[in-house]
Structure 1
């Protein structure tokens, strides 16, 4: 597998992981007991930390990309192993 393909897969996995990780560990003003700023949405986070999110996303995406690349190289699970439509009995 080319290194450019690995980078592209990593970036795709990173973005998906970032979006999935966004709601974890975030509290709203009501949950934290903090006064809201006028005009603030009820669902706006109080303690959003983009650096922590990026670090967590980087580690998780690296793990999943590594598993994908190793599986691609060694062929542990192939498309033939995943049987979505079994053949009907004869």
Structure 2
């Protein structure tokens, strides 16, 4: 696999990891800590931490890509078999 292909696949894993990471953030809503400001969504998290979310996305994507690459190198995810050509 070329390094550009590996980078593209990793970036896809990284982008899709947001769908796994984000539902676990914001368990404490604003009404639990402070009263709502006019126009504020009641379900919005009390403290938004983008660096923490990006770090967790990176960890999840790295683990998922590592598993994918391990399967690719060992032939468990052979593109010919998966496409039906072999």
Match of residue 4 from structure 1: 4
Residue 42 of structure 2 corresponds to residue 42 of structure 1: yes
CA RMSD, Structure 1 to Structure 2 (Å)? 1.9
Q: Which structure dedicates a bigger proportion of its chain to helix?
A: 2
8 Å CA contact retained: 2:25, 2:45: no
TM-score, normalising length: structure 1: 0.76
Residues 30-80 of structure 1: CA distance to partner in whole angstroms, max 9, x if unpaired? 2x2311111101121111111001011101101111111121111135575
Q: Which runs of 5+ in 2 are unaligned?
A: none
Q: Distance in 2 between matches of 1:23 and 1:73?
A: 32
Q: Spell out the pairing of 1:9-88 with structure 2 (5 A cutoff).
A: 9-26=9-26, 27-30=28-31, 32-78=32-78
TM-score, normalising length: structure 2: 0.79
Runs of 4+ in 1 over 6 A off after TM superposition: none
Q: Distance in 2 between matches of 1:19 and 1:48?
A: 16
Select the structure of larger CA radius of gyration.
1
